[in-house]
Amino acid sequence: MLEDYRKARKLGLKQIQRDVAAGNYPYPPALDDILKGQGYQGEIPMGLAEIDIALIAGTKTRGRQNTFSREFMPLPESSSEFASKWSDLIDSQRVEGLHEPIIVYEFMQRFYVQEGNKRVSVMRYLKMPTILAKITRVVPMPSDTKAFRIYQEFTQFYNVAPIYGIVFSEEGSYAKLAALVDKSLDAPWPDEDVRDLRSVFDSFSAAFAERGGARLGLTAGDALLIFLKIYQYSKIAHATPAEIAGHVARVWNEFVVSRDGGKVAYLEHPSPSKAKIIPELKSVYKDVLRAKPFRAAFIYEFGPLTSGWTALHDRGRKKLEQKLGATLATRAFLDCIDDDDFDLAVEEAARWKADLVVTVSPTQMRQALRGAVAHPEISFINCSVSLSHSAVRTFSGRLYEAKFLLGALAASMADNHKIGYVADTPVFGSVSEINAFAIGAAMIDPHATIYLKWFTAKDYDWKRELAEEDVRIVSGRDYHDPLFPHEAWGLYRIEHDGSTTHLAEPIWKWGRYYELIVQSIRNDTWNRERDIMGDQALNYWWGMSAGILDVRLSEELPYGQRRLVEIIRQAMLTGRAEPFAGELVSQDGTVQHTGEGRLSSEEIVRMRWLNANVIGRLPEQRELSQDGLEQVEVSGLIPLDPATLPHHGTAS
């Protein structure tokens, strides 16, 4: 109909005006012009396929470029022959459909039309998602660019699952997608599996676009990865478009907080409570709390008898019960490492009418997300830092503050200037702890050297290496590990006969932490924080000033050392001492920071450089144990090759 043409032309003219005003080229770009500047290796016929119209970026040659706006809306007058042919095409499409394929060239996952521009224009106007095309791939010249590396990964994916349209902005995403659908990139997928993924993606991308996904700065492919980390692919592979649209609506805030790489708001101090209840209402308030006590469920990967980390949190759970008495009840679910066990624990917690579900490991994040989406009436938290999600808030502590004190103490005890530091895993926050320890040591002894080793690095003997360097003051595990009952932990001294003397350790006051979390939910601070910072993930990153971290010193320490630690501790609490303020220099001599102001929370959490007095480095993927790999895959600081990891999804 000519009326459709007039409407389409009006859209085209508006697009032209907007592009000209913004200084953008207003017509479809020509692939030939692009290749003049870049060159290409050759062409490969790819055959017929349905392609996403959204991926059609321009024309093959210049030709009649100015016949269309950049979005392929028509521009000639309504009285032209072009307008008549365009109107005939849209009538034909409505009656019987357009069956003749267009001819396109694919370059870097974008399509450029050689024949069929008017058909593309009509289908774009009708908001049709795909169009049949005969495709020729233009192979780009090799380059050391992120875009080329992602394209190489796409071609590997296409060879096993010939699907166009799933576009990612980050390297490694195709391997992650394959893992999430329980496949690999090593062998062609069965046709049925390819059709299922294509169907899921089509339904997902339509729902994502319908809700305004383009405004988030995420590709539909990027958003799909987030979606599949929450919903198990096996359970949605045959879901209807309406069901998938419903799932997209429920997790929309996950896409919002993931834009621009995922913004995390680090809340460094507990939010102040509302004004206290007036005395006359105190008794009524207490009666209400006792009538319906707050219920907190703790879901652990392992039990406290086999995991020192779980034991710390479970002691905190019990202290929380002691402190809040009849106004609170808790339940602990042990050994929920498997998905089925975790999901059963969540369902039991929901039947129990839990107000809060606590998970204590970053590797539980994906499970927690699934539970939080299924039960939005329950608040979920996960003990981790810098994981960007909306449905599950994260909590951790500024452990680097305690490490700063321990580093100073270590330097005061090391008569040969040599100190060992054995870190666990290179995850977010771990390098700041190493560096704070090293900076604290250098503050007391400018000649102090920190020898860095890793618990989760395999096939090497760090104890032997430290002994060969005559290192006798060592910072080991932060807590007693029941699986290694005879291993020294905390800060200790290795005596000449090989025995060890415990000197100090960092202490977590999880009971106090959980009390503050429960209080924030009860007094509605929890919801106010969400309303204020709804477009960011929220991380509670509290420290010594909140009373949730400290150091414990051995009674055997000399008075001078005990006094030294207390002086520095008080200086930190009053803001007069801060490890990450002033001049900071890394191993290679680079000045990382100058001035009195402290590094930002983001800079501290994601720190990858090591201080100048540290001897050692971050481990590489090949050097990590399986346990270390699983932790790094979720919240790690070092790059991993997703294609070499076990076939399971990540929560990062």
Token look-up 């602990």 returns 332
Q: Residue 542: pLDDT band by 50, 70, 90 thresholds?
A: very high
pLDDT at 540 over 60: yes
pLDDT given at position 496: 92
pLDDT at 127 over 60: yes
Please check whether residue 592 is in contact with residue 606, taking contact to mean a CB–CB distance below 8 angstroms.
Answer: no
pLDDT at 54 over 70: yes
pLDDT at 440 over 90: yes
What pTM, to 2 d.p., does this model score?
0.86
Q: Which helix (H) or strand (E) holds 342?
A: helix 339-351
Least-confidence region, from 82-96, 249-263, 632-646: 632-646
pLDDT given at position 651: 41
Token look-up 């999600």 returns 389
CATH 3.90.1530.10 in the chain is located at 1-141
Share of the chain above pLDDT 70, in %: 96
| Rounded-to-integer distance, Cα 319 and Cα 313, Å | 10
**CATH level 2 (architecture), domain 1-141:** Alpha-Beta Complex (3.90)
pLDDT at 61 over 80: yes
Fold of 267-397+511-545: Rossmann fold (3.40.50)
**CATH level 2 (architecture), domain 399-508+548-644:** 3-Layer(aba) Sandwich (3.40)
Q: What is the pLDDT of residues 391-428, one digit of tens each?
A: 999 999 999 999 999 999 999 999 999 999 999 999 99
Q: What is the pLDDT of residues 242-284, one digit of tens each?
A: 999 999 999 999 999 888 777 889 999 998 765 444 554 455 4
Q: What is the pLDDT of residues 132-163, one digit of tens each?
A: 999 999 999 999 999 999 999 999 999 999 99
pLDDT given at position 277: 46
Total residue length of the chain: 652
Q: What is the pLDDT of residues 288-343, one digit of tens each?
A: 555 679 999 999 999 999 999 999 999 999 999 999 999 999 999 999 999 999 99
| Rounded-to-integer distance, Cα 551 and Cα 631, Å | 26
Nearest to 612 by CA among 452, 427, 492: 452
Q: Residue 649: pLDDT band by 50, 70, 90 thresholds?
A: very low
Nearest to 21 by CA among 30, 31, 9, 13: 13
Nearest to 206 by CA among 191, 227, 189: 227
pLDDT given at position 637: 87
CATH 3.40.50.2300 in the chain is located at 267-397+511-545, 399-508+548-644
pLDDT at 648 over 70: no
**Mean pLDDT, rounded, for 627-642:** 86
Please check whether residue 452 is in contact with residue 483, taking contact to mean a CB–CB distance below 8 angstroms.
Answer: no
pLDDT given at position 617: 95
Q: What is the pLDDT of residues 351-393, one digit of tens each?
A: 999 999 999 999 999 999 999 999 999 999 999 998 889 999 9
Please check whether residue 308 is in contact with residue 479, taking contact to mean a CB–CB distance below 8 angstroms.
Answer: yes
pLDDT given at position 175: 93
